[in-house]
Amino acid sequence: MSSAAVINTFLGHIFTGRMDEALALVAPDARFIPSRPEPTAAVPLFGTFVGPEGARRVFTTFAEVLEPGRFEVEGTLEQGELVTLFGQLEHMVRATGKPFRSDWAMVCKVVDGKVALYHFYEDTLALGEALAG
């Protein structure tokens, strides 16, 4: 399976609620970085999370904080182990009811058929403002 196919399969499992199937595609030492690698109390989605349990924490926290909405993938670029996706999103912050809109990009690395890096980039200022209420 190509690196892009692994990432698309992983995301497909996440988007359809098949967490265990998604986590089976995650390397034990994989790094998951949703936006910023440094954690902060104000934005629970910031930080670096490791392995399948780190991935579970990222997506569980996402579901606790945000009501998923529009997530459009405009394109995918693949070069060997590296995969980049980009597009636009719009979610609702559960605690504030505010929308969070952003362009986004994701850089991933696949090693031996497993997700080894998942780094998501989005408008962190807009996310912080939507969370602040």
pTM of this structure: 0.93
Q: Where are the beta strands (DSSP E) in 53-113?
A: 66-79, 82-93, 99-111
pLDDT in tens, 18-53: 999 999 999 999 999 999 999 988 888 999 999 999
Residue type for 132, please? Answer: A
Total domain count, the chain? 1
pLDDT in tens, 93-121: 999 999 999 999 999 999 999 999 999 99
Reply yes or no on whether the pLDDT at 133 is more than 80.
Answer: no
Q: Say if CB 34 and CB 63 are below 8 A apart.
A: no
> Given this model, what pLDDT does residue 42 score?
84
Residue 95 sits in which domain range?
A: 3-132
pLDDT in tens, 78-88: 999 999 999 99
- In sequence order, the 6+-apart residues with CB closer than 8 A to the CB of 86 are 73, 74, 75, 103, 104, 105, 106
Task: State both tokens at 123.
Answer: 């408008």
CATH at 107 = 3.10.450.50
- Which is it for strands 26-34 and 49-50: parallel, antiparallel or unpaired? antiparallel
- Mean pLDDT, the chain, rounded, equals 96
